[in-house]
Amino acid sequence: MDLFEFQTKEQFRQAGLVVPDGDVATTPEETAELAAEFGPEVAVKAQVLVGGRMKAGGIRIVSSPEEAGRAAQEILGMDIKGHRVRKVLVESASVIAQEIYLAAMVDRTAQRLMLMASAAGGIDIEEVAATSPENIRKAHLHPLLGFRPYQGLQLAKELGLPVTLWSGFAQVCQKLFEVLTHNDADLAEINPLILNSQGEFIALDGKMSIDDNALPRQSRLFSLENEEEGNDLERKAKAVGLNFIHLGGNVACMGNGAGLAMATMDAIKYFGGNPANFLDIGGGATIKQVTQALEIMTGDPTVRSLLVNVSGGITRCDDVATGIAAALQQDHIEVPFVIRLVGTNEEEAREILAPYNVTFVRTFTEAAQSAVKLARGNA
C-alpha cells in the first residue's frame, strides 16, 4: 500500500526527521486558514498516489491566504493521470540551498536493505539511473546489523557534502532507515532532501510504500485505507476480495494462480485477441467468489468472450463449475464462455455445466484459440 505525501511526512516527523510545518485541507477555505497559519509563503500540494504532480500543475507556491485558497480551488478535484485530487497539503515554503535524493528500500537483487543517494535530487531518479548511473550511490545494510553510522558518513562524502554536514546527513540516513523498518516499508524515499540556508536537512517531499504482507502488524497504517484509484470494476472486485486488474481488451479471462492467469492473458494475445483483465482466483476461491468474478467480468462492455482456465489442485473444478453455473443462471449474461477445467473433480465439473451453452476444451492452446475466435464472432 502506498502512502500519501502527508502520511509519509507524519511517519518522518515521528522518527525525528525535519519536515516543513503544515497540514492537509479538503476545501479552499481550510487551505486559506492553513496558509494564514503557516505562511506568508506556502506550498499548496495535490495529494495523489502518482508522480508528475508538478508538471500537471498540482503544486503551487503562493504568498497569501487568498492566493492559497484560489490555488486550492484549482487543484482540488483536478485529475492527475487518472487520480482525482481530494486533499491538498499546505505547508511553509522553504528556501532551498541544495537538493539531494535519499531513499531506503528493499533491494531484490542483493536481497538486502539498501540506502540510495544522489546529489542530483529533486528530479526523476529513474532518469538519473538510466542516463548517469555513476551519480547514484548505494550502501547495502547487513541484515543482522542494520544501518551503521559509518555508512552514512561515507555516503555524505561520496555526495560531495562538506565535512561539517557529514554527521547530520548520517543521522538523516539513520532515521530514514528507522522509518523503513518500523513501518515495514518496501520504500521510504525523500526527494528532495533539501539543505536550507541554515544548513539544516529538511524532507521536502516523501513517498512510502508499505509491504502488504505486514498488514497484521501494521494495522495502524492499513487502517488509513488509501484507496487505490482504479475503475469501478476494480473497486467492485476488491470489495469481494478478488485480485483483478482491468486491461480493456475483448477476451475476459480467469485463472487460478498469478502465473497461470498471466500465461492465459499472454496466450490470448498470441492467438490474436486482447485480454480484458487479469484475474487470479487463487487457491482458496469460494463458489460465491467465482460467481462474483464472472459478474464483474461480464459487466465490462468491451468483453466479447470469456475464458475460464483452471488447473485444479487445491482448487476443485466442481466448485468452480458450481460458481459458473450460478452466474449463468442469471439471464443477462450473453457473452460466450470457453471453459477449461482440468485436474481435481474435472468430471463432476463437466456434469454440472452440461445443461449450459458453454464450450469445453482440454488444452491450453484450444482454450485461448476458441476464446479469441468466439470474441471475433461476437464482435
Partner 1 sequence: MGILIDRGTRILVQGLTGRQGNFQAERMQAYGAKIVAGVTPGKGGTQSLGVDVFDSVAEAVATEEVDATIIFVPAPFAADAMLEAASAKVPLIVCITEHVPVHDMIRVREYVKMQGCRLLGPNCPGLITPGESKIGIMPNHVFQPGGTGIVSRSGTLTYEVAFALTNSGIGQSTVVGIGGDPIKGLDFVDILELFNSDPETKNIVMIGEIGGTDEQRAAEYAREHVKKPLFGLVAGVTAPPGRRMGHAGAIVSGGAATSAAAKIDVLKECGFLVAVHPEQIAELLTA
Q: Tell the smallest beta-carbon distance from residue 242 to partner 1 (Å).
A: 11
- Which of residues 80, 102, 113, 341 is near partner 1 by CB under 8 A? 113
| Under rule CB under 8 A, residue 270 binds partner 1 | yes
Q: Does 265 bind partner 1 (CB under 8 A)?
A: yes
As measured in angstroms, the least distance from the Cβ of 122 to partner 1 is 19
Q: Smallest distance, Å, CB 349 to partner 1?
A: 15
Least Å from the CB of residue 263 to partner 1: 5
User: Is 189 marked active-site?
Assistant: yes
Beta carbons within 8 Å of 103's beta carbon, 6+ residues apart = 115, 116, 117, 125, 176, 187, 188, 189, 190, 191
CA angle 257, 244, 234 (to 5 degrees): 170
Is 133 a binding residue for partner 1 by CB under 8 A? The answer is no
Stretch that binds partner 1, among 15-23, 68-76, 87-95, 307-315 (CB under 8 A): 307-315
> Interface with partner 1 includes 126 (CB under 8 A)?
yes
Nearer to partner 1, 89 or 173 (CB): 173
What minimum distance in Å lies between the beta carbon of 364 and partner 1? 5
Among the listed ranges 56-64, 65-73, 83-91, 124-132, the one in contact with partner 1 (CB under 8 A) is 124-132
- Set 5, 30, 91, 189: catalytic member: 189
Any contact of residue 302 with partner 1 (CB under 8 A)? no
- Site for partner 1 contains 233 (CB under 8 A): no
Are the CB atoms for 204 and 20 separated by under 8 Å?
yes
Q: Catalytic pick from 5, 30, 91, 101?
A: 101
Q: Please answer whether residues 137 and 151 qualify as being in contact, where contact means their C-beta atoms are separated by less than 8 angstroms.
A: no
Give residue 160's region: left, alpha or beta (phi > 0; psi -120 to 50): left
- For the sheet with 59-62, list strands across it: 22-25, 88-92, 42-46, 59-62
What binding mask, one character per residue, do residues 310-329 give for partner 1 by CB under 8 A, x or -? -xxxx---------------
The residue behind cell 538519473 is: 128
Query: By CB under 8 A, is residue 301 in contact with partner 1?
Result: no
Q: Is 270 part of the annotated catalytic residue set?
A: no
Q: Which stretch binds partner 1 (CB under 8 A): 33-41, 147-155, 276-284, 319-327?
A: 276-284
**Is residue 143 at the binding interface for partner 1, with CB under 8 A as the rule?**
yes
* Minimum separation from the CB atom of position 110 to partner 1 (A): 10
Near partner 1 by CB under 8 A, which window of 3-11, 65-73, 189-197, 340-348? 340-348
Grid cell in block for residue 309: 482456465
Residue 82 or 355 having the CB closest to partner 1: 82
Q: Is 168 in the site for partner 1 (CB under 8 A)?
A: no
What is the rounded CA–CA span in Å between residue 20 and residue 43?
10
Pick between residue 150 and residue 270 the one whose CB is nearest to partner 1. 270
Q: With CB under 8 A, what is the number of residues at the site for partner 1?
A: 55
- Min dist CB 266 to partner 1, Å, is 5
Q: Where in 49-68 is the site for partner 1 (CB under 8 A)?
A: none
332 binds partner 1 (CB under 8 A): no
In whole angstroms, give the CA distance from residue 153 to residue 376.
63
Residues that bind partner 1 in the complex, under the rule CB under 8 A: 106, 108-109, 111-113, 126, 129-130, 142-144, 181, 184, 186, 211-214, 216-217, 243, 245, 247, 255-263, 265-270, 275, 278, 280, 282-283, 311-314, 342-344, 363-365, 368
Q: Which residues are catalytic?
A: 101, 189
